[in-house]
Every structure is written in C-alpha cells, then in structure tokens.
Structure 1
Amino acid sequence: MIVVGREKLASLPLLTLAAPAIRDAYIAVTDGRANLPPVGYLPLSDRNADCHIKYGYIEGDPIFVVKIASGFYDNPAKGLPSSNGMMVAVSSQTGDVMAVLDDKGLLTDLRTGIGGALATMALWRKDARRIGIVGTGTQARIQIRALAALSDRPLRFTVWGRSMERANAVLADLEDLDLSIAATTDLETLCRQSDAIVTTTPSKEPLIRSDWIAPGAHITAMGADAPGKQELDIALVARADRLVADLAEQCLDHGEFSAAARAGLIQEERCVALGATFSGAAEGRRSDRDITIADLTGIATQDIAIARTVLDELGLLGRPQGTTA
C-alpha cells in the first residue's frame, strides 16, 4: 500500500495546483456528478473536540475518497495543532486502495482554505481590497495564504484575535509572504472597515453583530461546521441580500445558517449553491450594495479534488498496486 506522509504533501504547491479542481468540486454538487452520503459526526464534548467522516465520489473520477478529520480545540494551548486526520483514496474501477494520504489534517486545511478563498473572490465587490480575518488558528493563516496566492489584486489584511499576542503570532508565521497585514483586538472596527471578512473560529456564540456590517460587505463564514457552532448574529444572516451555501442541507442543519433557520428567519429557498455561482447557473453578488454571506461547511468533493490532484502530481494515478511513492 502506498502511504504519502505530511512532509511530502507539504512540499507540493497545492494552494494554486488544486484550485481548479476544488472549484469544479463545488460545481459537481450542482450538476449531478457528485455522490455525497451524509457526513459522519462524532462529538467529543468532554475533550472540546470532534471528528468528521466524509466520503464521496464524483462521476467519472478514477478514485473515491474516505476521510477522517478531527479537531481538538485545546491542542494549541499544548503546543499541538488543532486538526488531524487522513484520506484514503480508493480505485473507482477495482476497489483497491490506491494510497493513504497520511496528511494529519493538512489536506483538509488546504482544501478548506482554497474553498474559502474561491468563495470570497467570487462574491466580494470588484473594488474589494481590505480583508478582515476573524481568528488566529490554522485556518486563519491558510485563508490568508490562499487569498494571497489566488487573488488577482493586492490585498490588505487585518487579523483579529482575542489577544494581541495571538494575532501577532499569525503575522509572525506569515513573514515569508510580502503582505500588507496588521493585527487587532477590536472586532467591531475590523468589521466596519473591511470589504470582505473571513471568519475561522470554533465559536459557540455569535461574534459579529449585524449593525457592524455595512452594505456591500461580503462574509465567508468558515467556523460553524458542526452543531452548536455560530459566529454571526442571526439578524445579520436574515438581513443579508444573498446567502450562498456549499451544500444547503448541511448549512441549514449545522452550519452558520442553521441558527437563523431554526429561528424561522430564513428558508432553504434563500440559499444559492456556491457551485451554481461558479458555473453561471445562478447569480452571486448582484449589486455593489449587496451584503453577501457564504456558509462553507465542507463537502467530500473537495477532498476528492485535492486527493486526485495529489495523486496526479505524484504520478500515482494508474500506478500498479504494491509500488511505493
């Protein structure tokens, strides 16, 4: 069995390499090519942790993928990463395991970052330059790296953290990039001054109030991917002019949109599929004064897309079983 470790995977330029496949992964959900069974979710409440099991198939692909992804949110205080996991790529022709991608959560982090960047760039105003990043964890860093790698314009980032120490740590980790970037603990000012905001926290209570968000702003909400998580005031979700979801049934069940849906403030018909905006089947932003929100809960086609990209880049697609990477 071929096992590809995190170090090898980290050496690949996946933020740019996998972006076209990730974009198509969203479209596959809307054009009938995707087979997405329900997500497995295991809460570990006494550990402040959870585990997701996602699996799926895109019609015509040489592989399908089963992924285990865990989040242990107290780990950073112990000097450990909060995310971990692995992906198993299986031949869709024979059922043979083609490779185990022992990424320890890296591929999930990267495909999430790419998806967030693609959604933000699809929905922000044409003149958007000021990007607010809410959170100081792994995904905050990757969202910045993905936007910097994929954007067609110079951007100015501001990172919000509950402490300046945490916010400045993000800046220190991104010193290898030529960025305009600042840190703050003032979330209200960040929201009022940002053209686009990306939220990346595991918060269980709303952080961002509706009256902080001006017409024309875009928000990509990444943090609420399990029951009980919430980053946005439900009044803000209800007020938005355009609600975009990676998968509406997930977003309304346990994503950022779920609290507003439970309160009866929004219905499924208000949710536009992100893939449909990419393919042109549906409109995204319709005016410069629209408030747009993208709720991304993560879908298995993203995992398929990044795993396929890795195997193709390493020359493993079609390689006889029993050989090594």
Structure 2
Amino acid sequence: MKVITLEEIKENININEVLSELKKSFIYYSEKKIICAPITQTHFPEKNADIHIKSGYLKDDKYYYIKIAAGFPENYLKNISPSQGVIIALNTATGIPEILFNDNGFITDTRTALSASLCAQFFGDKEIQSVGIMGCGIQAYLNAKYLKFIFPELKKLYIYGRNIEKLKNIQQKFVDLGCAVNLTDDPNVVLINNKIIICTTSSKEPYLFPEHIIPGTVIIALGADDGIKQELSSSVIFQAKNVFVDSLDQCLKYGELRHVVKQKPEIQSKVLELGDIFAKNEAYISSESYSVIDLTGLAAQDIMLSRYIINKL
C-alpha cells in the first residue's frame, strides 16, 4: 500500500484549486454523482471526544474512499493536535486498499474550514473587511487564515469565547494574520459588528439569538455532525430568510437543523442544498434579513480533496 505523508499533502495544496474542488463536491453530491455511505460515529463522553467514519466514491472513479476522523479536544494537554485520522483508498475493481493518506486529520480540518470560506466567498459581501468568529480552536484559526487569503482587505476579526484568558493566550496568532483582533465573551458584540459569522464552537447549548443579527448577515455554522452540538437557537433558523445546507439528509439527522425540525417540521420547505445553488451559480441573499448555512461535513468533500491530491502527486 502506498502511503502519502502529511508533508506531501501540505506541499501539494493550492487554496484556489481546492476551493474549486470543494465547490464540485457539493454539486456532485446534490446531483448524486457521488455516492456516500451512512455515517458511523462513536462518542467518548468522558473525554468529550468522538470518532466518525465517512466514506463513498465518485461514480466510475478508480477508488472508494474511507475517512476515519477523530476529535479529541483534550489532546492539547499532551501537545497533540485534537484532530486525528487517516483516509484509505480502495480500488473499486478489486477492493484492494491501495493508498493510505497519513494526514493526521489535516484533510478534514482543511476541507471543513475552506468549505466555510467558500460559502463566505459565494454568499458574502465581496468587499468584506470584518469577520466574526465564534470559538478559539483549530477551526477558528483556520477559518480566519483562509478568509484572510480570500478577502485580502479583511482588517478586523471579532472572536468570541467563554474564557477571555484562553482567548488572550491565542490572540497573537490571529494578529499575525494581519488583522486587528477584538476579543469578547459576549456573542452579541460579534453579531452587531459583522455580516459574516463563522460558528466553530462545540457548544451543546445555543448562545446565538436573532435579536442582534444585522440584516444581510450570513451565518455559517460548521462541524455540527453528531446530533448533540447546537450553537444557534431555533429562533435564528426560524427567522432566517434563507437556510442552506450541505446535505438535507445529514442536517436533519445531525446538524443545527435537527433541533429546529423537532419544533417546526415545515422549516424543511425553505431549506436548499448548497450543491443546487452552486450549480445554478445564483447567490441570492436578502439585504433585509439574514441567511444561515448549516455544514455537517460531506464524505464528498473528503473524496474530492483526496482525488485532487492523488492527481497532484
């Protein structure tokens, strides 16, 4: 079995090319050109951790991809990245495992952050100079990093976290991106100052409510793929003009949408998959209201990014 190392993966990543591949992943998923297996997930409540498996293949492609991703937040105490995992490519003609991506979760982290950035680029204000980020972990930093790449004029970051001291400890790496950084333990401070909001916390209790959301705002909630996490109050989704999802099926089972549908099943009628929107290339956003994007993470993203790396190598 060929092993592709983390170093090889990082050396062959071009951000603009990856954004293009991720856009295709949403479109192919909605067009059912990529076949995804049901998600398998195991929780470790005592560690606030989980391991999940996402897999599938692009029709008529050479490989079937299996992604094993582990999220162990307490790893930072051991100076180990909280994100871990591998991707295995099996030959679709023989079933033989041929390639192992020893990526330590890098592909998952990258495609998760860049998918949010893709949505910000597609739906957001092209002249954006300020972004709000909820959270202070890996995804908070990667989103800030990639958004700065996509929006070079980005000048300000508003970062929310429950623990100000923890925020201060990581503030410098955000400053090093070339932005003024505003720290707060009040999520409303982020809402009233930004029209792009990226939610990256692991909160199980909603902390974001509609009262202070600015008209024209795009709220991107990512990483809710276990059915437990909830950052947005149900009222945020009830009152949104548009609700976009990476997968309607997954979001109803695992995402922010899951909590809302229990109360108002009719909400499904206004939910659209991103793949359908990207295929039409129509970014209709209301300047009088706000929009919500629910991202649970698709095997399709892992597949397209893995194929991209194989082709680059």
Cα 1:202–1:161 shift into 2, 3 Å = same
Equivalent runs, 1:83-94 vs 2, <5 Å: 83-94=83-94
Q: 1:301 — aligned with what? A: 300
What secondary structure is seen at the aligned counterpart in 2 of 1:293? strand
- Partners of 2:247 and 2:88 in 1: how far apart? 23
Q: 1:289 — aligned with what? A: 288
Alpha-carbon distance, 1:167 to partner: 2.2
The answer to whether the 8 Å contact 2:123/2:283 transfers is: yes
Q: 1:39 — aligned with what? A: 39
Q: 1:101 — aligned with what? A: 101
- Partners of 2:156 and 2:75 in 1: how far apart? 30
The answer to whether the 8 Å contact 2:160/2:185 transfers is: yes
Equivalent runs, 1:1-325 vs 2, <5 Å: 1-151=1-151, 153-174=153-174, 176-264=176-264, 266-280=266-280, 283-314=282-313
- Partners of 1:16 and 1:284 in 2: how far apart? 19
Alpha-carbon distance, 1:152 to partner: 6.4
Give CA-to-partner distance per residue, 1:121-158, whole Å, 9 cap, x none: 22224454321010000111111122122336535322
CA-based RMSD of the aligned residues comes to: 2.0
The one-letter code of the counterpart of 1:198 is I
What secondary structure is seen at the aligned counterpart in 2 of 1:35? strand
The one-letter code of the counterpart of 2:304 is A
The answer to whether the 8 Å contact 2:175/2:181 transfers is: no
The one-letter code of the counterpart of 1:273 is E
- Partners of 1:259 and 1:176 in 2: how far apart? 37
The answer to whether the 8 Å contact 1:2/1:100 transfers is: yes
Aligned residue-pair number: 313
Any stretches of 5+ residues in structure 2 without a counterpart?
Answer: none
What secondary structure is seen at the aligned counterpart in 2 of 1:140? helix
- Partners of 1:90 and 1:172 in 2: how far apart? 42
- Partners of 2:177 and 2:130 in 1: how far apart? 17
The answer to whether the 8 Å contact 2:174/2:181 transfers is: no
Any stretches of 5+ residues in structure 1 without a counterpart?
Answer: 315-325
Give CA-to-partner distance per residue, 1:215-245, whole Å, 9 cap, x none: 2111000132212110011111110000000
- Partners of 1:36 and 1:235 in 2: how far apart? 31
The one-letter code of the counterpart of 1:219 is I
Give CA-to-partner distance per residue, 1:74-97, whole Å, 9 cap, x none: 333443322111101223344333
The one-letter code of the counterpart of 2:164 is M
Q: 1:318 — aligned with what? A: none
Q: Structure 1 residues 254-263 or 79-88, which shifts more?
A: 79-88
Normalising by structure 2, report the TM-score: 0.92
Q: Structure 1 residues 193-202 or 69-78, which shifts more?
A: 69-78
Alpha-carbon distance, 1:174 to partner: 4.0
The one-letter code of the counterpart of 2:91 is S
What secondary structure is seen at the aligned counterpart in 2 of 1:13? coil
Give CA-to-partner distance per residue, 1:21-57, whole Å, 9 cap, x none: 1110000012221101211111222221111100011
- Partners of 2:192 and 2:176 in 1: how far apart? 28
